[in-house]
Each structure stands twice: as C-alpha cells, then as structure tokens.
Amino acid sequence: MLEPSNNDELPPIPPKRYFTIGEVGELCTVKPHVLRYWEQEFPQLKPVKRRGNRRYYQRQDVILIRQIKSLLYDQGFTIGGARQRMSGAEEPVKTNVDDKVYKELIKDLEEVIELL
C-alpha cells in the first residue's frame, strides 16, 4: 500500500519499542495535531496512553500512519475513502452495463476497424 518511492523520502524507523508523538511526526513528516486527528478518524490507530495521557506509538502504528499518509496525500483519497481502504471494506466497482452490452460494443468496434 505504501508506494516504494515514498519509502525513500521518509527516514527509516529506528529499532525502538515506543515512539513519542513528536518522534512519529518526524518519522512520517506529519504534524502532531494531524496525528491526533487521525486517531479519531481511523479506529485502527490506537497508541498506548500512559501517565498524563501521553501517547506512545509502536512500530506497527508508525507503519500504519505512513500508509494513511500515502492514501491521503499521495493517492488522493478522502478521509472516508482512506478509512474504507484501511478497513478492507472495498467493494467491487459496479457498472450498469452487463457483459452482453460489452460483447456487442466490441463486435461493433471490430466492424468499424474492418471498414477502416
């Protein structure tokens, strides 16, 4: 989900167990207030909260934030669309045209090509 080109732009994730909101902001190039907002919008993003409601993110949280950032900023998803994509609730694209119409259209196009 995270584009390989984006991995080159972002710093590597250090081998630590917990990261503060400031560290995650630097690792993902996202401001802390945006991270707090994303916590409300994406149920998968649940950092550990300790003394004084301080947030501590784990490695999988950092990876998840990078995926969310890629969906929103690089791929152009809305918050709702990114939420659906992250939850895996993708529905197949529905069209109003059935296979019979496609076959007729292909046949008509082949006839036009033969005339040309």
Domain total of the chain = 1
Mean pLDDT of the region 25-29: 94
pLDDT band at 4 (very low <50, low <70, confident <90, very high): very low
> What sign does the dihedral 70-75-80-81 (CA atoms) show?
negative
Percentage of the chain beyond pLDDT 90 is 54
Burial class of residue 79 (count of CB atoms within 10 Å of its CB; 0-12, 13-18, 19+): middle
What is the extent of the structural domain holding 102? 4-115
pTM: 0.68
pLDDT at 91: 53
pLDDT at 114: 85
CATH number of the domain to which 57 belongs: 1.10.1660.10
